[in-house]
Amino acid sequence: MALKSDNYRPLTVESLPERLGKVDAITTLLGVDTGTWDCKEVGDGNLNLVFIVTSGRGAIIVKQALPYVRLVGDSWPLPLKRAFFEYHALIRQAERAPGMVPEIYHFDEEQAIIAMEFFTPHIILRHKLMAQERVKGLGEALGTFLARTLFLGSDLSMDTAKRKHDVALFVESVELNDITETLIFSDPYFDAERNHHTPGLDPIVARLRADVDLKVEAHHLKAKFANNAETMLHGDFHTGSVMVTENDTKIIDPEFVLYGPMGFDVGMLLGNFWMAYFAQPGHGNNADYQAWILETIARIWNTFVAEFSHLWRTGRTGILYEEALFKDQQLGLEQALGHRLCAIWEDALGFAGVEMIRRTLSLAHIAENDMIEDEVLRAQCEARGLELGRFLVVNRARMGDISQVNDLAQQINKGATS
């Protein structure tokens, strides 16, 4: 895949007004007088340019892919086509979870630009979690988003031709798939070039890399991730891909979209919440707030189960578990639903575990830990995440319910398990 066309040019705050000032969909929102537009580059993610563009009339987000990984620099090239995949993911998510993702105003494939809705006064959930501020309805919103997007993007719901078309569309996102496969499932388990970790973790890291059970199970999860085109995933569903106010939740940034196993998005999100839980001592001791994080985790999972079950009972229009096949066998359908949910649960715990390990040992870490200046305290918070992560990867088939995992997190947090 070509990385970029010859006409591609990255935007700057100076060039943006002139370049987008001729796009009707944008001038309708901001006005034609580009002299009144104010542009700020606010991208703090790992890959792209992100601008907030405001005028007296309105505000939009302009996201542009760079032909390389921003976090690393131009030594790591990355195709612009990821903007095309993100655009197609956003369209589908908007249909499946209305009102939860940004509306798209304009897409320019050659320039890898998406102009979209600016969520304000929303902030990135990670920052909210570090500020120890609550969000009303957070668990319910995230659980609903997961259930709706995972169910409605799968063979449980979609017309078979459309679903196969989408599998083919997104399978081309080879480079981003490769990032996930490598950074999450392989790099943390050996001394890979791009890895880094807090020095105080050295003995634990050595132990984990020598842990054959862990390595084998992490690789079973990699096989599951690579070989199961079950549904359209967000693909990078961490707390940096969620924007919130005190009572509203939105989801952004699905550029890592791919067809994969349902448990992946669920697990990645839960893993990020557990890491945020362990990182709290680095942001001011607040046992109530930690308890709220665990409650939110339980709400995410319980809402996911309820909404997924509702869709199962009322919206199975795909090729799986057809109504006609189970006519007069409602119990059988409930049995099958239970089996599916158990499989998602087990996978989700495993994926949560590898996410917790990779965000501590591999290339891209999380702000909740990185912002803890005291290295000893940071290592302690990270070590707790590693302990839960390792446990979940290896024991994912033996965990009863979400409260059992939250209880274990609490024990680990008290230092009661080491």
Site stretch for Mg ion (CB under 5 A), options 2-10, 72-80, 165-173, 248-256: 248-256
Question: What is the total count of residues that contact Mg ion (CB under 5 A)?
Answer: 2
* CB-CB contact of 247 with 278 (8 Å): no
Measured distance CA(386)–CA(398) in Å, rounded: 18
Is residue 86 close enough to count as binding ligand SR1 by CB under 6 A?
no
Is residue 46 close enough to count as binding ligand SR1 by CB under 6 A?
yes
Nearer to ligand SR1, 279 or 364 (CB): 364
The count of C-alpha atoms lying within 13 angstroms of the C-alpha of 228, restricted to the half-sphere facing its C-beta, is: 18
Length of the chain, in residues: 418
- Smallest separation, CB 47 to Mg ion (Å): 7
- Smallest separation, CB 264 to ligand SR1 (Å): 12
Measured distance CA(42)–CA(380) in Å, rounded: 31
Residue type, 389: G
Site stretch for Mg ion (CB under 5 A), options 20-28, 73-81, 250-258, 372-380: 250-258
* CB-CB contact of 200 with 376 (8 Å): yes
Is residue 236 close enough to count as binding ligand SR1 by CB under 6 A?
yes
Measured distance CA(242)–CA(138) in Å, rounded: 10
Is residue 364 close enough to count as binding ligand SR1 by CB under 6 A?
yes
Nearer to Mg ion, 82 or 384 (CB): 82
Nearer to Mg ion, 47 or 412 (CB): 47
Strands 242-244 and 258-260 come out as unpaired
Measured distance CA(364)–CA(240) in Å, rounded: 12
Q: Which residue has the tokens 């050295």?
A: 202
Nearest Cα residue to 25 out of 117, 144, 131: 117
* CB-CB contact of 387 with 211 (8 Å): no
Is residue 217 close enough to count as binding ligand SR1 by CB under 6 A?
no
Measured distance CA(123)–CA(142) in Å, rounded: 16
| DSSP conformational letter for 119 | P
Nearer to ligand SR1, 180 or 290 (CB): 180
Nearer to ligand SR1, 46 or 309 (CB): 46
Q: Between 153 and 192, how does the x/- string for binding to ligand SR1 read (CB under 6 A)?
A: --------------------------xx--x---------
* CB-CB contact of 81 with 72 (8 Å): no
Measured distance CA(46)–CA(241) in Å, rounded: 12
Tokens of 240: 């940096």
**Binds 363: which of Mg ion, ligand SR1, none (CB < 5-8 Å by kind):** ligand SR1
- Smallest separation, CB 266 to Mg ion (Å): 18
* CB-CB contact of 221 with 214 (8 Å): no
Identify residues 65-84 at the interface with ligand SR1 (CB under 6 A): 69, 71
**Binds 124: which of ligand SR1, Mg ion, none (CB < 5-8 Å by kind):** none
- Smallest separation, CB 83 to Mg ion (Å): 12
Q: Of 86, 187, 253, 382, which lies in the binding site for Mg ion, with binding defined by CB under 5 A?
A: 253
- Smallest separation, CB 84 to ligand SR1 (Å): 17
**Binds 69: which of Mg ion, ligand SR1, none (CB < 5-8 Å by kind):** ligand SR1
Measured distance CA(364)–CA(415) in Å, rounded: 26
Q: Of 45, 263, 353, 389, which lies in the binding site for Mg ion, with binding defined by CB under 5 A?
A: 45
* Angle made by CA atoms 200, 203, 208, in degrees to the nearest 5: 120
Nearest Cα residue to 379 out of 199, 187, 191: 199
Is residue 363 close enough to count as binding ligand SR1 by CB under 6 A?
yes
**Binds 183: which of ligand SR1, Mg ion, none (CB < 5-8 Å by kind):** ligand SR1
Residues in contact with ligand SR1 by CB under 6 A are 46-47, 69, 71, 179-180, 183, 236, 363-364
Residues in contact with Mg ion by CB under 5 A are 45, 253
